[in-house]
Structure 1
Amino acid sequence: MVEEEKTFQKLDIPTAEILEDVAEFLKREGDISAEEGVKRLDMLYKKYKKVEQQLLAQKLRLNAKLPELEESLKVIEVLEIKEKNKEPFSLTYMVSDHAYAKARVNRSDKVLLWLGANVMAEYSLEKARRILETNYDQGMTYY
């Protein structure tokens, strides 16, 4: 429960409360009218719905990326084996949606990862694995 409260605080979401005494709630809010109380509760409800929609959209995005992350982790595993054995290898890779190219790889100690927003960065295999595993684990927590 404490962890949920921290999450709500980070998202700037007030914790929902059960109103057992409406008169006490109206008084606590500054002696407001019932109509004003309903308006405030309606505003809170809209905030909760907006956050729910954002979290659902985030979950869908992460779920769509999970298969891609799994494949990337498999590729890292193969690259680690090839690098450990110091053996060159050939591969076919996707250049664009319908275009592929062949390449011969002599060293496989580094990889390039897309970070998003048209940004790519070079990492060691170990660091790339950690990044991908972290992203995969985060995706699985929402799954």
Structure 2
Amino acid sequence: MEVNPRGIPKAPFVENVEDHVSEAEPVEIVLKKFQEAVAKYKFMEVNMLQRKRNLDAKIPEIRKTLEMVQFLQSEAEEGDEEKEIETMYELNDTLYATAKIKPTGKVCLWLGANVMLEYPVAEAAELLTSKLETALKTLSNTEEDLAYLRDQITTMEVNTARVYNWDVKQRRLARAKEEAAETLD
């Protein structure tokens, strides 16, 4: 079975419906399998969209933090021990406070789960750069997977329509044969 780089299976395109539908596997079963496949792809799509939303929110935050760390790094490298930086910092989503700080060459970063660690500024910049690169790569992969999933959903919906239309045509032909046979009797 063909899969994309992250293991999402490729939907098979049904070229010839007659070859796909048989006595052992009637139309109803085939249609049910196709609908289940579409549901699985849509479930994956919902999860990917959630991941993309999370990354879209996280990446600007990482960038903003990295820019601040780089600014603190440049201030610490200037070496003026007495220089104070006046800044505003976020207490809450809509609440900011003003502070005067002296560059110390160290910075504290939230790691998550109520954990904060102190890093040398250069190490913090490396860590944030690495996190940003990883988040951007993950976002790119997620967007690629979303496009792939949309293609697979479309393929399965087309397969479903083709099998359904084939079944309608077969039923009409059978009904026409029955009517022709009745008129001959």
Offset, 1:56: 1.6
Structure with more of its chain in strand, by fraction: 1
Counterpart of 1:5, as a letter, is N
Residues 50-108 of structure 1: CA deviation (Å, up to 9, x unaligned):
11122122212222233322221211111111221223433432333425252423412
Query: How well do the aligned residues superpose, as a CA RMSD in angstroms?
Result: 2.7
Count of matched residue positions in the alignment of Structure 1 and Structure 2: 133
What TM-score does the superposition give when structure 1 sets the normalisation length? 0.72
1:16 aligns with 2:11: yes
User: Against the structure 1 CA distance between its residues 106 and 124, is the aligned structure 2 distance closer, same or farther, given a 3 Å change threshold?
Assistant: closer
Counterpart of 1:14, as a letter, is P
Offset, 1:125: 2.6
User: Against the structure 1 CA distance between its residues 134 and 25, is the aligned structure 2 distance closer, same or farther, given a 3 Å change threshold?
Assistant: farther
The match for 2:62 among 57, 62, 69 is 69
Aligned residue in 2 for 1:96: 92
Aligned residue in 2 for 1:134: 130
The match for 2:120 among 94, 116, 124 is 124
Residues of 2 paired with 1:127 and 1:34: CA distance?
62
* SS of 2:119 mapped into structure 1: strand
Residues of 1 paired with 2:19 and 2:114: CA distance?
54
Once the two structures are aligned, what percentage of the paired residues are identical?
28
Question: Which of these two proteins has the greater Rg computed from alpha carbons?
Answer: 2
Residues 96-134 of structure 1: CA deviation (Å, up to 9, x unaligned):
3425252423412x3222233333333333332233233
Residues of 1 paired with 2:115 and 2:18: CA distance?
55
Residues of 2 paired with 1:123 and 1:42: CA distance?
52
Residues 11-70 of structure 1: CA deviation (Å, up to 9, x unaligned):
xx322121113344456xxx3222111111111111111111221222122222333222
Counterpart of 1:118, as a letter, is N
Residues of 2 paired with 1:71 and 1:125: CA distance?
15
Aligned residue in 2 for 1:112: 108
The match for 2:52 among 56, 59, 74 is 59
Counterpart of 2:116, as a letter, is M
Counterpart of 1:95, as a letter, is L
Structure with more of its chain in helix, by fraction: 2
User: Against the structure 1 CA distance between its residues 16 and 122, is the aligned structure 2 distance closer, same or farther, given a 3 Å change threshold?
Assistant: farther
Contact 1:113 1:123 in 2 (8 A): yes
**Stretch moving more, 132-141 or 34-43:** 132-141
Q: Which has the higher contact order (CA 8 A, sep 6+)?
A: 2
Contact 2:75 2:103 in 1 (8 A): no
Residues of 2 paired with 1:26 and 1:69: CA distance?
52
Aligned residue in 2 for 1:43: 36
